[in-house]
A and B are shown apart, each in its own frame.
Chain A
Amino acid sequence: MTAVRVYIATTQGPSEIQRIAVEDPEVRSVVCLNGTSEALPISAAYDAFVRKPTGVIEKRFGHSVFRLDVSERVSEGKSWHLGMFAAHALSAAGRLAEKQSGAGQAIWLSGEVDHHLNVLPVEHVTEKLFQSRRLFSDLKAAGIQMTVVLPRANLAELDLRLLNKQGLCTEALAIVGVDTADEVCRHLGLADPSLPPALAKAVSMISPASVPPKWMLVGVALALGVVLSLAAIWWSGFGDWAGMAEAGRYRRLAAALGEAESGECFSCAISARAFRLYADFLRPRDGDLDLKLIERRAPASKSCTLVGIGRAEAVAVEIEPPRSGLWRSRAAAELCAVAYRLTNSGGAPVHIWLAAVPVGHERLLSRNPNASAHRRVPPGDAITVEIKLPQWLRPPLTNRVTAVIARRSSEDVTAWLSSAGRGNGADWPDLRRSLERAGLTVLSVVHEITP
């Protein structure tokens, strides 16, 4: 299949789309001038055109952030939509002619694309065509077919006789009017972009010349049924949620799943159920996470004061989590500190947020305000938080030890845990539900230390 060069029509002249490259999901999409670091002012609008929920590119082509280079400035307005959509479709099919690579075909577009991929009319089409006269004649001389694609409403208004009279040789151009962006894809011989990429590829591989036997047709129909069901699940939210989980956007994920489960959309509810199964499958297995309490006590006839100034070494005792979910320690026998250690005994690295939050005893633990930690924990490694106890513990002390485990780092989890302030822990059940709703693994044990 031939590579196609894409031109965006502007009133200043045509601007060639030189390159589309996938960018880091942590940044915003950007339109740059000619490979330089100059980001054009339409970058913000391009980001909105790409990124879900407003954008259409991520929805169709499955990635949220791109860098796109153009040869000339493209100013404000929305008529660049159609050209950029076509360029993304060609790029996804490996057929976009990039800068300094050969092209067998060229396409010049102007049109606004709405959220449903309808192509809306634009202004100044005649002016844009005149500004591209030189490009059209150069391509004609080079023997490259040029197709002009316009919204159908604009096509009806075009006065070809006037254009020809004024020196624009429209006979050399194939002028096409479209109502939807998908029509552009079909015109370019691209697979239907409304299908998921894998299915679109499969459909494009079906050759009309091959006539398979009946049993094979039934098999293909069944297989297609399965693929279509999977596609329905994917398009009903699964794909979006997987993307959110991958990007660590757990707050949005929890909200979206909650909405899908409580809404009236049947396929969304099925998709949410499928996503829960998928998330459960990815969770660490029983035995992959090993939480231990470590009591550090002063040795016989020594005090915690001596341990604190380094004149004696504490004796560490490791204690498994109790089945009841409640650890109990006695502070009377020179308990200097308690530590909580979570070991990743699984085969894959995980991100762990571990915190020991005093319940109702904020002032007692003012010396240890940061009994929390978060980091990526490779297999076999552990994360630990430690609390030094007050020398003279009078009232009982209760810590809630919580661990949140995720496959990706996420500021959402940090913010969630920060929002659970100290106090009586009344907000913890709600918070736990939110975390689990987002597919995160949560461990929680209460530790009571009595004088």
Chain B
Amino acid sequence: MMGTWKTFTPRQKAVTEKAFEALSTLDALTERGEAGGEKPRQIGFSDLFAYVGGPERAMDGELRRALDRDARLRVALDRLLDKVSLYHIPRLAAASSGLVESREGEGFRIRLRPSRSVASQTYVIIELSDPLAEPPKTMFLRAPSNRYGKYPLPAAQDGIIQILADTDSELVKFLGEVDTEVFLS
């Protein structure tokens, strides 16, 4: 099936959600079968789906370790993020280097603006080209060395979403790196 989440019709979305549910049930059944053993719980598609789709679900140690060791899981997560994201900025071109203060994707722009009043803090400003477009609610970052970050977004005001963060936080550091991929969903 081609296309992305935002291009799906309501019917396509409903079918996709049912498919996710089926896969999640399968994951749960598999997990139950292994519950008695010593082996660590297997991270499956349902965990990835919960991470991407659940606003409260953060990246826990178990999921992080599973992503570190399993390249296929990372590919599955990347694909899922790509499918559900409303906006996406791929990694910057190889010719770019060092830190960036501004990133642009189709339909939006992200800027980093140091606070004037508190030197250790930085504003992250997401500007949507179409203020009437559906605003994203979560930002996912995929930094180099397979690190992922998930950040809930406040409501947009006139197409602008603003977050204040510590300058040495992962969020600001990741966004400042040219290799970081950005997904807004």
Q: In whole angstroms, what is the CA distance A21 to B116 when docked?
A: 8
Shortest A414–chain B CB gap in Å is: 13
- Is there an interface contact between A27 and B157, defined as CB atoms closer than 8 Å? no
- Is there an interface contact between B125 and A27, defined as CB atoms closer than 8 Å? yes
- Is there an interface contact between A35 and B118, defined as CB atoms closer than 8 Å? yes
Task: Report chain B residues within 8 Å CB of A28.
Answer: 125, 157, 160, 162
Q: Is B155 an interface residue (CB 8 A)?
A: yes
Q: In whole angstroms, what is the CA distance A59 to B123 when docked?
A: 24
CB contact between B117 and one of A21, A26, A41, A48 (< 8 Å): that residue: A21
Q: Is B139 an interface residue (CB 8 A)?
A: no
**Could you tell me how many residues of chain A have their Cβ less than 8 Å away from some Cβ of chain B?**
19
- Is there an interface contact between B166 and A27, defined as CB atoms closer than 8 Å? no
**Could you tell me how many residues of chain B have their Cβ less than 8 Å away from some Cβ of chain A?**
19
Q: Is B146 an interface residue (CB 8 A)?
A: no
CB contact between A67 and one of B115, B154, B165 (< 8 Å): that residue: B115
Q: Is A22 an interface residue (CB 8 A)?
A: yes
- Is there an interface contact between A23 and B117, defined as CB atoms closer than 8 Å? yes
- Is there an interface contact between A23 and B162, defined as CB atoms closer than 8 Å? no
Q: Is B163 an interface residue (CB 8 A)?
A: yes
- Is there an interface contact between A37 and B164, defined as CB atoms closer than 8 Å? yes
Shortest A66–chain B CB gap in Å is: 8
- Is there an interface contact between B160 and A24, defined as CB atoms closer than 8 Å? no
Shortest A183–chain B CB gap in Å is: 30
Task: Report chain A residues within 8 Å CB of B111.
Answer: 26
Task: Report chain A residues within 8 Å CB of B162.
Answer: 27-28, 30, 39, 43
- Is there an interface contact between B157 and A47, defined as CB atoms closer than 8 Å? yes
Residue with the greatest number of chain A CB neighbours at <10 A, chosen from B125, B157, B164, B169 = B164
Q: Is A272 an interface residue (CB 8 A)?
A: no
- Is there an interface contact between A27 and B165, defined as CB atoms closer than 8 Å? no
- Is there an interface contact between B113 and A24, defined as CB atoms closer than 8 Å? yes
- Is there an interface contact between B115 and A44, defined as CB atoms closer than 8 Å? no
Tell me the nearest residue of chain B to A35, going by C-beta.
Answer: B118
Task: Report chain B residues within 8 Å CB of A269.
Answer: none
- Is there an interface contact between B166 and A37, defined as CB atoms closer than 8 Å? yes
Task: Report chain A residues within 8 Å CB of B164.
Answer: 30, 32, 37-39
Shortest A163–chain B CB gap in Å is: 38
Q: Is B121 an interface residue (CB 8 A)?
A: yes
Binary A-proximity of B155-175 (CB < 8 A = 1, otherwise 0):
101001011111001000000
- Is there an interface contact between B123 and A27, defined as CB atoms closer than 8 Å? yes
CB contact between A37 and one of B113, B154, B157, B165 (< 8 Å): that residue: B165
- Is there an interface contact between A24 and B116, defined as CB atoms closer than 8 Å? yes
Q: In whole angstroms, what is the CA distance A232 to B67 when docked?
A: 65
Residue with the greatest number of chain A CB neighbours at <10 A, chosen from B116, B125, B154 = B116
Binary B-proximity of A29-70 (CB < 8 A = 1, otherwise 0):
010100101110101100110000000000000000001000
In chain B, residues 112-147, which have Cβ atoms closer than 8 Å to a Cβ of chain A? Answer: 113, 115-118, 121, 123, 125
Tell me the nearest residue of chain B to A30, going by C-beta.
Answer: B164
Q: In whole angstroms, what is the CA distance A28 to B111 when docked?
A: 13
Task: Report chain B residues within 8 Å CB of A67.
Answer: 115, 117-118
Tell me the nearest residue of chain A to B124, going by C-beta.
Answer: A27
Task: Report chain A residues within 8 Å CB of B154.
Answer: 39, 41, 43-44
- Is there an interface contact between A26 and B157, defined as CB atoms closer than 8 Å? no
In chain A, residues 375-430, which have Cβ atoms closer than 8 Å to a Cβ of chain B? Answer: none
Q: In whole angstroms, what is the CA distance A37 to B117 when docked?
A: 12
Q: In whole angstroms, what is the CA distance A26 to B109 when docked?
A: 14
Q: In whole angstroms, what is the CA distance A158 to B154 when docked?
A: 38
Tell me the nearest residue of chain A to B162, going by C-beta.
Answer: A28
- Is there an interface contact between B116 and A23, defined as CB atoms closer than 8 Å? yes
Task: Report chain A residues within 8 Å CB of B116.
Answer: 21-24
Q: In whole angstroms, what is the CA distance A39 to B164 when docked?
A: 7
Task: Report chain B residues within 8 Å CB of A39.
Answer: 154, 162-164
Tell me the nearest residue of chain B to A28, going by C-beta.
Answer: B162
CB contact between B157 and one of A21, A38, A44 (< 8 Å): that residue: A44
In chain A, residues 64-119, which have Cβ atoms closer than 8 Å to a Cβ of chain B? Answer: 67
Q: In whole angstroms, what is the CA distance A39 to B117 when docked?
A: 14
Tell me the nearest residue of chain A to B123, going by C-beta.
Answer: A27
Tell me the nearest residue of chain A to B120, going by C-beta.
Answer: A37
- Is there an interface contact between B117 and A22, defined as CB atoms closer than 8 Å? yes
Task: Report chain A residues within 8 Å CB of B166.
Answer: 37
Q: In whole angstroms, what is the CA distance A41 to B118 when docked?
A: 19
Q: In whole angstroms, what is the CA distance A48 to B158 when docked?
A: 11
In chain A, residues 354-386, which have Cβ atoms closer than 8 Å to a Cβ of chain B? Answer: none
Interface CB pairs A-B, < 8 A, 11: A24-B123, A27-B123, A27-B162, A28-B125, A37-B121, A37-B169, A39-B154, A39-B162, A43-B154, A43-B162, A44-B157
Closest 10 A/B residue pairs (Cβ): A21-B117, A27-B123, A37-B164, A39-B164, A67-B117, A28-B162, A37-B121, A24-B116, A44-B157, A37-B166
Please report A residues at the B interface, Cβ cutoff 8 Å.
Answer: 21-24, 26-28, 30, 32, 35, 37-39, 41, 43-44, 47-48, 67
Supply 8 further A-B pairs (C-beta < 8 A) apart from A37-B118, A37-B166, A43-B162: A21-B118, A22-B117, A23-B116, A24-B123, A27-B162, A28-B125, A48-B157, A67-B117
